[in-house]
Structure 1
Amino acid sequence: MPVTALRQRFSQPENERQVQSTWEKFLSGQDCGSDAVRRLIDDSWRRCHGAVDPGRGSAPPPAQGDALYDLLTDSKDLVRASSKVIASARDFLFETGTVMVLTDASGMVLSVEGDGNLRDGREAINLMPGANWSEDTCGTNAIGTAIEIGQPIQIHSYEHYCSGIQNWSCSASVIRDPVSGGIVGALDISGLSGSYSRHSLSLAITAAGRIENRLAQREMDLRYRLLDHCLDRMQQADRDGIILFDRSGVPIKTNERAAAVMTEWAKSRAASDPVLRDVTMPWRNGRISPENLPHWVDRDWIKPIEIDGERLGSVLVLPDRSAVVRRTPKRETAPIGETGTANAFARLSGSAPAYRDALQRASLLAKSPAPVLLLGETGVGKDAFAQALHESGPQARGPFVAVNCGGFSRELLTSELFGYAEGAFTGARRGGMKGKIEAADGGTLFLDEIGEMPLDLQPHLLRVLESGEVYRLGENTPRKVKLRLLSATNRDLKSDAAEGRFRMDLFYRIAVTSLRLPALRERLTDLPDLSEHLLSQIAKRYETTPPGIAPALYEHFADYDWPGNIRELRNVLEGMFLESGGGDLTPDHLPFDWSVPARGPASETEGLTPLQQAERKAIVAAIERHRGNLTSVARELGIAKSTLYIRLDKLDLKDTLERLRP
């Protein structure tokens, strides 16, 4: 970005008196040309002139009740993607006396987090969830103006068009949809004018970028799930043409027969063009709304794809015309979203002793209907284990319903879990809504990040688990449910329960059995196979062949701690895959900000292959954990103690063992 353009983004408080004078002249109709007022501010004032009352003291009263609920529901993906990003900024917000504000694309506030001392000030100007802070409503302000110009901007004091908010300093950046590039919201940092800092805009830009990355990751995950569930069906359809659309309505995949079948149907119905040009399948109000669909396509050929209540996309099945003419009874086909496998754990890649032990324990636990609490760091694959436990257990024929407890506000999570009755609140759906607990009846309910569940909701979940009955919001009649509960957390719930942050009775109910999944740094010997497996999935998604991996790359991988675990490895590999342009992955393709701890003395690893170095690191980590107790080390690694002695000698670890023993 050019320096002049960059300067346009930041306020200059030293010009505050000149800006105030220029604002007063502007409102009185005088010539207000001044270098102290940035062009972006001047442009915004001119847009607001005659349309917004400059004496306005606050935003209009915020939406409440059902209107606020609908607002949050419509933006739940954005709220979910933003929650952890906003939480990570809390220390900065408290230290600087500011708040972080999330809005949708129209400037409607979705959440406000930060310094509680600003609450009275926020309430005075209605900087609250449900309030409208668009430029059309509140004049020049960071939220509304950033959305209007589609760029980050900082607005300080008298740069605000309306006098009632001129004692505030605000910095905002837009959040864009990773697929369409359109604006889906804005992230703002606001405080009283004395809190001004250029760093606020930098943080807003960075945080908005992180939210976009989380949105992109979610889209990638959903698209992967869509392809994963549909590819077999597409490949087996040797007569029908199949076109797959993602949840945004964009076509992403066709099978080999699609073009030929399109031509057959177009000719039979006197269409001049057999190609489905510009056809999209967006969802509106819970239904597929095809756009630019030619007359020769029957709408009955379009089916939604929903897995566990999650809308993934849609499929257009173009039936083989000759077969349609011949056959009379409608053939029966399994729903395209159906899952299930004879050996669900076989697709979980890994042979490291700690991981193999987790797989063996999981396969045993799968046979029981008892609750299982999955423990492990973020990104270790707890959701994949939960899916495999379901598919290998007695509930496999029932639904698998997943809920991320950390991705919703308290109000939304209540409705998601328990559902509500018709008329429970103004704006409730006709007929009410089934909650995820009911949806899991006969199957498995997976509560991810259960440690984030609000404390006051936990007794209601406990009652469901103890009684087998669920009450919808607004109903007095219980509904029977029978399900298996799987939960996951990266927190120490037992400590949380002891300190009153989690209910002890619920902890013992959900942790009848527990399963700890090892972090990636504890299974470094799996890196080669796991990397190849992930690259194969990535290449399949991009419809190309997987690249090779240079052996030298594993040296870098083995020295890294992988705080984001498998999820981080997948992201790193995908970035490198795109950087490589189809060639083998080498250290040159590592991310620009890649850094690893300094390597030990060369003599410790000299002459070892990357795989041996990874094995060495895993053994050292086990020795450290067990304080030199070789019996425990061998047990964790799944090898005989005699074999461990051989490995210690071969990998030159005897001196290390003596050093680590207490």
Structure 2
Amino acid sequence: MEGESSLRQKAEEINFIAGTSWSELHAGTNAMGTSLAIGTPMQVFASEHFCQSVHNWVCSAAPIKDPVTKKVLGGINLTGIWDVVHPHSLSTVVSTAQVIEEKLLSHLKFEQFMLMEHYIEITHKNHGKSVAVLDRGYQVIKASPLFYENDWIDKNNRIIDLDNVDVSLDHTYRWKEEKRNGGWTFELIPYFHQGCPIGYIVHAISPTKASRNTGNVTKHSFSSLIGQSPKFLSVTAEARSVANLDLPVLIEGESGTGKELLAQSIHSSSHRSLGPFVAINCGAIPKELAASEIFGYEEGSFTGSLKGGRAGKFQQAEGGTIFLDEIGEMPLHLQTILLRVLEEGEIVRLGGNQPIKLNVRVIAATNCDLKKACKEGTFRKDLYYRLNILSLQVPPLRERSGDIPLILDRLFKNICIDLGRPQLKLDDRALLALERYEWPGNVRELRNFAYKMAVKVKGNIITNADLPKELREERTIEEYTAVNVSDRYMDKELQPFLSSPQCREAMCETLSLKDQELHTILTVLNELNGNITEAAKRLGIHRSTIYRKLGREYSRERASYAPK
């Protein structure tokens, strides 16, 4: 809101301020709310308003629409007292909305250019693939000739089968359709530019190719990853940005943080998504079999070898992605071979002489410090620098503030359905305890905890008493907030002086920003007798934020305080 100060003061008297709802549902007929509801410009004059308190005002509003989806994104509104309103106020808001829509249209042209560029890249790298690129409104920007030859694109320039699919810019979809030449599989993948969704890629897979690609497929995509914490969103945005590159990716993070899920999501969002995703645990393969397992072997290479030889994991991943989990556990002699594969883009089978060209993207993951391993001589420096072109750091669960409730909610829904039992919820104290726990096993440990609770708890609510001993919260919120502020700063003999209101006020002025945040939260909690749900509503924040502030930032060997 902007405007003349005295007019804004009058507007406050009728609740015309930031944060209030003037939708037609809540305020009845008014230019802003009604314009957004019906999607057209309009002016509401004086007593035309539903609310009597607004009868002295005139409002003119125009909606702003997305040029692709035609959805209303927002609006421009001019409001003033009826006897001084400018006669051109309605045309002014209409003109302003049009200028903004023209800017959005200009940005759409840029998005379409990026999609066209991506189409050229896909078709250049993957001859024979049938693909189409769509903008955010599902309009076809460019498609392979096969789409037009088979009439898969209608007269409105849309793919005919998409009307039967529940599409979303955050999800990857596959569907099958019976065509004249058999059952075709279509895969729709969101395309992101600098972390923002700008369109879709549609792959058409012929019946013969679909039947071949029955194994080595991914189960996860970016849409299946759960979390809203800044660190989590940062790493997923970075992963999206590198998905369509063919360079190696090194994913680092503690055990159980979901490194393979991130690798699968990268593959699912790349132009290789229709190719295989082959995962290898480098620490689980016996050393004597590792070379033949990963790189393959020729017939007669060793006793017991198969007739005709066998393709290794790299050849099985042809046209797709190979995921080398626990790369730090790979034996040194295999690291030398892997380095050559990365440098030359080809392999030589065990016992063979002829190099075999590869079209495979490598994603590696580790939970150990590879730099330290290089210094200790257990990992090759040249291989480390070859793998570490694109690096992603997956944060541990303890650093993903507020994500635990979201992940648990999804886990409980799936687990309870699998076990055929009623859905589970956590009470406030139990959730506070989980927020304060370190979770050394990360999401894997959290998943195991969810299974234990689903089996152990008979009711619908998990309480603090139901938690394992190592997770239990020993103090109540009231006990936690009852510690005196002066205990943090001064000796016990100064307590009488420090308890005075004047001293407390002076000390509060010197608190850090974090302490001021805690001071505010605890004040509200004390007023509401520790009711976290009501406190979150009053503060305008999520309950998980309160858990985090109380649990993580102020509980680890630090005294806490409550304002009196």
Calculate the TM-score normalised by the size of structure 1: 0.42
Calculate the TM-score normalised by the size of structure 2: 0.48
